[in-house]
């Protein structure tokens, strides 16, 4: 049985000064107003999942479109972009271990900015030190770092005494069919494509097969004489192929999907949720996703309505910034989600 998150505590990370998330399940859906920090929650959990990799900070910024090899962009991981706000990420796991990660910079004076008369951000990050552990004790047992070398390239130093047991994946907002082709081609080489085809058949019984050809992916559709290019398929099928092909390419314990509804027609939401819920149940994957789409939540509620087993797998979390108590997370199980939707109670703000 895979090791998954039960609780996550975020301190001084991006826009959050403090946030506690409890009672995590197999499927965890985060909703809330724009810019409330839904993606940051996924990033924090992703960093905890790969805490021994010192390049993880660059990775989460790269997923937002920030240049990968610029270590100074790590400043945006600190709350209010203030290095005095030292981030601390903690996670309680289903095997009862406590994962902890913190990091701190070593800065240097930026002579380039000084020569141009720019008085802002003249102190740049030249080294980022990571401390992490699997126990909730004083201090940290493991350490790693990334450094800007004399040649200007990044160098990493890992802790050889630590072996990572988790394998996590982050799928950003993406409608690029090229990525789907690449991932599915990998599955073909590893003789694992049937896993995706079986899941797609659950999504749409008319899909009989998927073929990876030199110019892209094609679908074999029941009743059609020719293969159908993936670009001609519906948004739901395209998004489903991209997600499932990416997840299946390795044996992942935990998967993070930002804006799962991106590019999908509302009519596809229920089928996508049913397919994904079955998939993570069969393959023992914990899934974290974000959405701001009411149709997407209604599709989830409809999918859960048809299966009590699926109801017990899922929680929806509304992330909100309150005036009195700061950032809070309000949890909705199936009954609370159904009541909110039936009574048109807004849970996305």
Is the residue at 312 inside a domain? Answer: no
Q: How confident is the model at residue 123 (pLDDT cuts 50, 70, 90)?
A: confident
Same domain (yes/no): 121, 202: no
Region of 107 (left: φ > 0; alpha: ψ -120 to 50; beta: rest) is: beta
Q: Residue 119's pLDDT is what?
A: 45
> Of 219, 235, 251, which residue constitutes the final position of a domain?
235
**Distances from the Cα of 237 to the Cαs of 197, 220, 278, 298, 306, in angstroms?**
11, 12, 16, 19, 21
140, 79: one domain: yes
> Count of domains in the chain?
2
Report the share of the chain in percent with pLDDT over 70: 94
71, with CB counted inside 10 A (0-12, 13-18, 19+), is buried
Mean pLDDT of the chain: 89
The continuous run of DSSP H or E covering 6 comes out as strand 5-13
224, 96: one domain: no
- CA 129, CA 263: separation in Å to the nearest integer? 38
pLDDT digits (tens, 9 = 90+) for 193-208: 998 898 888 888 899 9
- Please check the confidence at residue 111 and state whether its pLDDT lies above 70: no
Is residue 105 domain-resident? yes
The pLDDT, as a whole number, for residue 235 is 73
The mean-pLDDT minimum among 49-53, 69-73, 286-290 falls in 69-73
Cα Rg, the chain, nearest whole Å: 22
Residue with structure tokens 């909100």? 320
Q: Are residues 11 and 132 in the same domain?
A: yes
- Give the 3-state secondary structure of residue 114: helix
Clarify whether residues 153 and 192 are in a common domain. no
Asked if 126 and 106 touch (Cβ cutoff 8 Å), the reply is yes
> Please, which residues have CB within 8 angstroms of residue 243's CB and are 6 or more apart in sequence?
171, 257, 260, 276
- Across the range 97-102, mean pLDDT stands at 97
Clarify whether residues 152 and 14 are in a common domain.
yes
Using DSSP bridges, classify how beta strands 16-21 and 5-13 pair: parallel, antiparallel or unpaired: antiparallel
If asked whether residues 185 and 156 sit together in one domain, one would say no
Among 220, 235, 250, where does a domain finish? Answer: 235
CB 267: neighbour CB atoms within 10 A?
Answer: 12
Task: Determine the structural domain holding residue 141 and report its residue range.
Answer: 5-24+52-164
Check if the beta carbon of residue 107 is closer than 8 Å to that of residue 126: yes
Q: 132 and 184: one domain?
A: no
> In this structure, is residue 179 part of a structural domain?
yes
Same domain, 78 and 225: no
Q: Is residue 86 part of a domain?
A: yes
Residues 106 and 146 in one domain: yes
Query: Model-level pTM greater than 0.75?
Result: yes
Average pLDDT over residues 221-233: 91
pLDDT band at 313 (very low <50, low <70, confident <90, very high): very high
The verdict on 90 and 151 lying in the same domain is yes
- Tell me: do 196 and 91 sit in the same domain: no
Residue owning tokens 């081609």: 185
């Amino acid at each position: 049985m895979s090791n998954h998150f039960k609780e996550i505590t975020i301190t001084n990370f991006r826009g959050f000064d403090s946030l506690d998330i409890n009672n995590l399940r197999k499927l965890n859906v985060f909703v809330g107003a724009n810019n409330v920090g839904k993606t940051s929650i996924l990033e924090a959990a992703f960093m905890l999942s790969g805490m021994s990799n010192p390049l993880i900070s660059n990775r989460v910024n790269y997923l937002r479109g920030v240049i990968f090899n610029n270590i100074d962009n790590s400043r945006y991981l600190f709350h209010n972009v203030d290095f005095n706000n030292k981030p601390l990420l903690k996670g309680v796991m289903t095997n009862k271990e406590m994962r902890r990660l913190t990091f701190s910079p070593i800065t240097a004076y930026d002579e380039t900015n000084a020569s141009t008369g720019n008085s802002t951000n003249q102190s740049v990050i030249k080294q980022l030190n990571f401390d992490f552990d699997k126990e909730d004790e004083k201090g940290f047992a493991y350490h790693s770092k990334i450094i800007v070398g004399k040649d200007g390239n990044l160098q990493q130093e890992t802790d050889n005494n630590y072996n990572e047991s988790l394998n996590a994946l982050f799928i950003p907002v993406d409608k690029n069919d090229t990525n789907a082709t690449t991932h599915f081609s990998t599955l073909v080489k590893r003789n694992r494509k049937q896993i995706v085809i079986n899941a797609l058949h659950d999504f749409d019984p008319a899909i009989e097969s998927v073929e990876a050809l030199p110019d892209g992916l094609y679908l074999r559709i029941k009743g059609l004489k020719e293969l159908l290019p993936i670009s001609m398929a519906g948004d739901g099928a395209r998004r489903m192929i991209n997600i499932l092909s990416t997840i299946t390419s390795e044996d992942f314990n935990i998967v993070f999907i930002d804006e799962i509804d991106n590019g999908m027609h509302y009519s596809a939401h229920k089928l996508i949720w049913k397919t994904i819920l079955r998939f993570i149940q069969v393959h023992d994957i914990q899934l974290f996703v974000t959405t701001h789409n009411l149709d997407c939540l209604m599709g989830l509620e409809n999918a859960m309505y048809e299966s009590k087993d699926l109801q017990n797998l899922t929680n929806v979390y509304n992330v909100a910034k309150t005036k009195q108590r700061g950032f809070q997370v309000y949890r909705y199980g199936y009954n609370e989600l159904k009541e909110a939707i039936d009574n048109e109670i807004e849970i996305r703000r």
